[in-house]
A and B are shown apart, each in its own frame.
Chain A
Amino acid sequence: MSSTSISKPKSDKPQNAIVETALETCEATGRTILSFFALVGRIANFIGKSIYHCFTPPFFPSQLGRQILNIGYYSLPVVGMTALFTGMVLALQSYTGFTRFNAEGAIAGVVALSVTRELAPVLAGLMVAGRVGASIAAEIGTMRVTEQIDALTTLSVNPFKYLVAPRILAGTLMLPILVLIADIIGIYGGYVVAIYSLDFSVGSYITQTWDTIQPIDVISGLIKAGVFGFIVTIMGCYHGYNSARGAQGVGAATTNAVVSSSILILIFNYLLTQVFFS
């Protein structure tokens, strides 16, 4: 090896090095792009299979009920607390900002619109991603590692129907309900601060809220919530189902589920806002 490099003319050396570096960079870029498309393909295939199994028998209603309870009911305290304090902070911040322009009267409308259109669906989505997405990935990942998913197959039960479909259905159905509750709690949080701390009149605050809010504001938030529920559960299921072996594999699956669903929630929030309000 060394003899060939010695025999080469000196002037070739830097040129060869540049070509080699360029080739290596191209190779690495190509590999990254290919693996990205392969990942997208795998996720698309997983989503397609999951949706198919959501609507074809056999169904597992007891599993669906269990997931509705887990995703919907048990997430309620976390989502409710988030919405309450978000509404309260929003009222406070709006007040300190709007008094500079003598626009305190707009606080009720700002709180109502911000909560219903953006904050309730996004924050509820992110909170559920942290609570439910992580637990789905950890549970299914552990089942993968301990061969429980293989055991389901040997017992003539399709893991997509038994594990994936109930979670996706429950997530997609329950998140809009959670967000509807979060809308009410969030607006109530703003109301409490406005009335008890900022001395607003009850009647004018409520009237202003009703006058500002339109059905599309609530409906767009609920549609967003349905999409976010789907994203959180499908990412949890995908990463858990494809978890690598061992505790490290399950840990990585859990992290990936939360990170990917959080990022996707933010991306889809922008895209859906474009669709509804642009």
Chain B
Amino acid sequence: MTPKNTDTDIPKLELKGLKKSFGNKHILRGLDLSIPKGKSLVIIGGSGTGKSVMLKCILGLIHPDEGSILIDGKETIGTSAKERDIFMHKFGMLFQGAALFDSLKVWENVAFGLIHGRNIDRKKAREIAQEKIKAVGLRAEVADLYPAELSGGMQKRVGLARAVAASPEIIFFDEPTTGLDPIMADVINDLIVDSVKGLGATALSITHDMASARKIADHIAMLHEGKIVWHGPIDKLDNSGNEYVEQFIHGRADGPITRRVA
């Protein structure tokens, strides 16, 4: 007798045969991926391999040409605006450049999704925002500043506070440490780990930064030319036996991954 599927058997996020092309450029060529609930998966891969396109497909910002995107076992592609809204409520996202709204104060940025996306009262949302701002290691006074008055590292922290403000079930991190000095990068990595573990959320990150990947990942997947070429637990990364992974993690110019210089 086959055991019944339980909630924990169903991956939190699953991609099946995802394809996306822009004209003649085939970016995703049948991408398959799954993340169990509560786990952190980091996707590594060179620039232009389709990492950001994959993320945008999951977030519904780009429509894939073919394939399936399942959240808690439910198809998200082709759903109505109302159903998509339900899926979006499960997501939080830290953008590469933080993508803070310049015209709003820091606390309004953090509380934005609570006020406008979930109709939480402004006063209550401000309290939650202030808690989150404190949790990412920023002083309370920062709440009333504008994003332009903050350093890159502080903006990333605010972006992280905004991503976790509504306690999402799945958090996406798009190159979270890009543009930061090594110490600030490590601080952000620690905050990511704490936030994800604290919420019990599932995390999907894309990065080039191997130090960051090693710190925040439970599992690693390598994306090359629109397909996953290796997927495994973080402790197997150094013994993957995969020539693409070997070349990437050691940053070697020679190997199966070739770069054309135009």
Contacts and interface: CB of A to CB of B under 8 A. Distances in A.
Interface of A: 58, 60, 143, 146-148, 150-151, 153-157, 162
A147 B95 contact: yes
Interface stretch (B2-10, B109-117, B182-190, B251-259): B109-117
Given A150-B59, A151-B93, A156 B113 contact: yes
Interface of B: 56, 59-61, 85, 88-89, 91-93, 95-97, 99-102, 112-113, 116-118, 162, 172
B96 A147 contact: yes
Given A153-B60, A154-B88, A148 B116 contact: no
Given A150-B56, A150-B59, A150-B61, A155 B116 contact: yes
- What 8 A-B pairs come out closest when comparing CB atoms? A156-B117, A155-B113, A147-B99, A151-B99, A154-B93, A156-B88, A157-B116, A147-B95
Nearest to B96: A147
A68 B112 CA distance: 22
A143 B85 CA distance: 22
Nearest to B93: A154
Contacts of A148: 99-102
Contacts of B100: 148, 151
Among B56, B101, B118, residue most surrounded by chain A Cβ atoms (within 10 Å): B101
A151 B97 CA distance: 11
A27 B91 CA distance: 46
Contact of A146 (B91, B99, B116, B118): B99
Nearest to A155: B113
15 contacts: A60-B116, A143-B101, A146-B99, A147-B99, A148-B100, A150-B56, A151-B93, A151-B95, A151-B101, A154-B59, A154-B88, A155-B113, A155-B116, A156-B88, A162-B116
Contacts of B85: 156
A81 B101 CA distance: 34
Given A148-B100, A150-B56, A153-B59, 11 more contacts: A146-B97, A147-B95, A148-B99, A151-B95, A151-B101, A153-B88, A154-B59, A155-B113, A156-B85, A156-B116, A156-B117
Nearest to B117: A156
A143 B103 CA distance: 11
Contact of A157 (B93, B97, B99, B112): B112
Most buried by B among A148, A155, A157: A155
Contact of A150 (B89, B99, B113): B99
Nearest to B174: A147
A146 B99 CA distance: 6
B88 A147 contact: no
B83 to A, nearest CB: 13
Contacts of A162: 116
Contacts of B97: 146-147
Contacts of B96: 147
Nearest to B118: A156
Most buried by B among A58, A153, A154: A154
A100 B187 CA distance: 83
Residue in A146, A150, A151 whose Cβ sees the most chain B Cβ within 10 Å: A151
Contacts of B118: 156
Given A147-B96, A147-B97, A157 B60 contact: no
A260 to B, nearest CB: 25
Nearest to A162: B116
Contacts of A153: 59-61, 88
Nearest to B85: A156
Contacts of B60: 153
A156 B81 CA distance: 11
A263 B51 CA distance: 41
A2 B66 CA distance: 45
A155 B162 CA distance: 9
Nearest to B159: A151
A99 B226 CA distance: 78
A143 to B, nearest CB: 8
B69 to A, nearest CB: 15
A146 B95 CA distance: 9
B59 A157 contact: no
